Amino acid sequence: MVRKLRSGRESGPSRVRNLPDLGHSELVSQAIESANQALDLFAATGVVAVNVDDVDAFHGTWLRDGQSIVLRLNLSYPFQVRATVGGSFTEPDGNLVISPPFGEWHRALRYFRLSQASDDLFDAFRNLYLALESLLHEVAPRKNREGEGVWLARALRLVYERIDVPTILRELDPGGIDELYQSIWNLARNPVFHAKDDSSSFLPLDISSRESVRANVLRCARLASSLSEELHGVRFLSSGVSIEAGKAMCEGLLSGSDIALADDSTPFEPDNREVSPAGHNVFRVGAHLVDAQETTFDACIRGRARTDAVVQAIGPVRRVTTSKNGSVGLVEVMDGSLDIAGSDELEVEWGVSCGGIGPKATYSS
């Protein structure tokens, strides 16, 4: 598997070799853990301190398909609809000035902002839990010698009396007060905040625990936002795009697109229409929309080509785009080049999802 590394100073591709013959999801999971363990050792011995970049956004895997070796490139692009509410004006020098938001400042907002600015899922959860904790303390101040878990359960019961928790949590409602407590306290807060042993703690970047933490990131964010409005008048944007409208937008973006490859590392510019701004050779891969039952994205396209044809046309791959009606859509420019020789076929899959308006839901690490 290949994916790039990143740090504040440098980035480049990472490659994990000699993994057993596994299915795609198992292969990705094991490759990520193997890479992270190696990087832990590099950092601890002073060699270099870097992280694996967003694996969901782009990664490549070499897999067997019968007698063939298929290099599969997976790319994704999640986006959220954003809006501003209230007056605004532009200063003579071009600065956009937005009217101050409603509501009063309180401590929980600092933790909430840090969670939304973070790219790390575990950091986001810690700050969102602290934001929720700050607000819950206003609803139910902790009593003398009251245990932390006992206090949280009591505070959540009082919250159910103040706001409509099932409606606020929507699809993430676990089914009741006790279930919500168990989810936040036992399935996220304790294992994220502690590191005593494998059985009672989550290791950062471990893919097996991400879904549990991610679900509770959103639960804490929605509860904190609602309590912030209830207690201090600070309201998160509540307009947005419906699920069906989001899917239609994504399908419209990808429908009729093909996938184009080039040996061109020219930095991306939004006004570029060409697959290769530098004028290099381009290889186009015919693509089709993936059936909704086969993907977790709102829309996804997939295409496959013979590797030798790609290598003969462009050589190594440095740029992957979607292309429709002569113009590029989505663009991925690699840090370095991807040598695809050694595989028999190249498969490219690109998915997009619309998150609508709401607290941040996607984290790169």
Q: Model confidence over 188-233: pLDDT tens digits?
A: 898 888 888 777 788 888 777 888 888 999 999 999 988 998 888 7
CA dist 18 and 333 (Å) reads: 27
* Domains of the chain by residue range: 2-80+243-354, 106-232
Which residues are within 8 A (CB) of 194 and not within 5 positions of it... i.e. 6 or more apart?
Answer: 200, 201
Please, which residues have CB within 8 angstroms of residue 237's CB and are 6 or more apart in sequence?
82, 83, 85, 357
User: What residues are paired with 71 via a beta bridge?
Assistant: 62, 346
What whole-number distance in Å separates Cα of residue 301 and Cα of residue 351?
Answer: 7
Residue 241: predicted pLDDT:
67
Residue 208 neighbours by CB under 8 Å, 6+ apart: 29
* Predicted local confidence at residue 39, as pLDDT: 81
- Of the candidates 358, 320, 271, the residue with the CA atom closest to the CA atom of residue 81: 358
DSSP state of 202: P
Residue 318: partners with Cβ closer than 8 Å, 6 or more residues away: 262, 263, 264, 265, 333, 334, 336, 337, 338
Model pLDDT, residue 19 = 61
Q: For the purposes of burial, counting CB atoms within 10 Å of the CB of 161, is it exposed (0-12), middle (13-18) or buried (19 or more)? A: exposed
What's the pLDDT at 27?
Answer: 76
**Ranges of residues in the chain whose predicted pLDDT is under 50:** 1-11
- Reduced to 3 states (helix: H, G, I; strand: E, B; else coil), residue 112 is helix
Copy the structure tokens of residue 63: 């897999």
From residue 190, how far is each of 176, 195, 278 by CA, in Å? 20, 9, 52
Are 161 and 230 in contact by the 8 Å Cβ rule? The answer is no
Query: 29-50 pLDDT, tens per residue?
Result: 777 778 878 888 888 888 877 7
Pairwise CA distance, residues 82 & 1, whole Å:
34
CA pair distance 284, 290, nearest whole angstrom: 18
pLDDT of 88: 62
Token pair for 59? 């990664």
pLDDT score at 5: 45
Burial of 189: CB neighbours in 10 Å, binned 0-12, 13-18, 19+? buried
For the record, the structure tokens of 295 come out as 């993907």
Closest CA to 256 of 228, 287, 277, 231: 287
pTM above 0.85, yes or no: no
Helix (H) or strand (E) holding 335: strand 327-338
Q: What is the DSSP string of 12-29?
A: EEEE-----S--HHHHHH
Amino acid 75: pLDDT: 86
DSSP secondary structure of 82-101: ----S-EEE-TTS-EEEPPP
DSSP letter for 45, please.
T
| Identity of residue 331 | V
